[in-house]
């Protein structure tokens, strides 16, 4: 009999606080290494949320688009229309999520014309999964797909890591994406609002307003914005400076003479 090592290793925590990173940071600063001296703040990016209530789905997202450390757009829409019964929230590169959802919308539009009815959520999920798999993770798109079909309300997540998941459990949380199910509609709206607001408050990559999309069996309601951000900064000073604040080092004036002027009549169709 050969005793094989168990693949499950139980690692017990030491308990208490750990200040290893503080010691590391102080050593990096004392060493003067330029390549390792600059420590960047952790940014998780977009915050999107999904809640399944009794007869529908509530999706929400923030409205801040960033380019590195620069806020590129304060009021961008991260909730994309797919079909009358399906909407999609996107996180990742804005261009990738926009083109991916455009592809899904056009494919499902053809399916609606062919079948004469609204498509199922699993069909939309499979199209996204096949599309992202063909590009082997080169498309930076993390998508939260929600809607109501003939089998009821559903939420799918399709990630750039080629993973697809149907969420049936009560509570799930992954990074800046949040899911829940089986609440009342009003409670679902407030829960999505609170989740997005928490991301806006605690994450540098999330900000501005809260957008909400409620998908029901009998219709869809998109509220933009559902709530404006309460974390707006006020200007502390005046940014208009009087003339003469900046010293003029050298001044030169050149007069340009008109050499030739021609006028050409534009042809107008009779």
pLDDT in tens, 218-248: 889 999 888 887 666 677 777 788 888 888 8
Distances (CA, A) of 152 to 104, 192, 199: 21, 20, 29
Instruction: Give domain status of residue 175, yes or no.
Output: yes
Residue 261 lies in a domain: no
Does residue 269 lie within any of the structural domains? no
Confidence at residue 10, expressed as pLDDT on a 0 to 100 scale: 47
Q: How much is the pLDDT for 184?
A: 82
In a domain, 32, yes or no: no
pLDDT at 113: 92
What does the radius of gyration of the chain's CA atoms come to, in whole angstroms? 27
CATH code of the domain in which 183 resides: 3.60.20.10
Q: Three-state DSSP class for 198? A: helix
Cα separation, 132 vs 159, whole angstroms: 8
Domain total of the chain: 1
Give me the DSSP letters along 164-183: EEE--SSEEEETTEEEEEEE
206 part of a folded domain = yes
Please indicate, yes or no, if residue 186 is contained in any of the structural domains.
yes
pLDDT digits (tens, 9 = 90+) for 167-183: 444 344 444 455 555 56
Coil, strand or helix at 21: helix
Taking a C-beta distance cutoff of 8 angstroms, is the pair 85, 111 a contact?
no
pLDDT digits (tens, 9 = 90+) for 101-141: 999 999 999 999 998 999 999 999 999 988 888 887 788 88
Domain annotation covers residue 192: yes
Q: Determine the structural domain holding residue 144 and report its residue range.
A: 48-227
Over residues 49-75, the mean pLDDT reads 87
From 46, 79, 83, 101, the catalytic residue: 46
| Residue range 188-201, pLDDT digits in tens | 888 888 888 888 88
Element (H, E) at 136: none
Q: Determine the Cα–Cα distance for residues 179 and 127; give it in Å rounded to an integer.
A: 22
Question: What pLDDT does 6 receive?
Answer: 47
CB 150 within 8 A of CB 20: no
- Both tokens of 179, joined, read 């899911």
Confirm whether 245 is a catalytic residue: no
């Amino acid at each position: 009999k050969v005793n094989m090592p168990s693949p499950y290793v139980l690692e017990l925590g030491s308990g208490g606080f750990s200040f290893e990173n503080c010691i590391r940071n102080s050593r990096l600063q004392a060493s003067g290494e330029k390549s390792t001296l600059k420590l960047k703040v952790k940014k998780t990016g977009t915050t999107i949320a999904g809640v399944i209530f009794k007869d529908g789905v509530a999706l929400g997202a923030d409205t801040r688009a960033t380019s590195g450390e620069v806020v590129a757009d304060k009021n961008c829409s991260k909730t994309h229309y797919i079909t009358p019964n399906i909407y999609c929230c996107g996180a990742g590169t804005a261009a990738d999520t926009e083109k991916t959802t455009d592809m899904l919308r056009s494919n499902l539009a053809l399916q609606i014309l062919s079948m004469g009815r609204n498509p199922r959520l699993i069909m939309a999920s499979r199209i996204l999964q096949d599309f992202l798999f063909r590009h082997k993770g080169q498309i930076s798109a993390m998508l939260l797909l929600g809607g109501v079909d003939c089998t009821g309300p559903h939420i799918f997540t399709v990630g750039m890591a080629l993973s697809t998941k149907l969420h049936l459990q009560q509570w799930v949380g992954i990074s800046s994406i949040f899911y829940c199910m089986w609440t009342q509609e009003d409670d679902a709206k407030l829960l999505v609002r609170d989740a997005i607001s928490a991301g806006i408050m605690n994450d540098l990559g999330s900000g501005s307003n809260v957008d909400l999309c409620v998908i029901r069996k009998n219709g869809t309601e998109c509220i933009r914005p559902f709530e404006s951000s309460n974390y707006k900064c006020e200007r502390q000073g005046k940014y208009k400076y009087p003339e003469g604040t900046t010293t003029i080092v050298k001044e030169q004036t050149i007069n340009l003479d008109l050499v030739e002027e021609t006028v050409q009549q534009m042809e107008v169709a009779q």
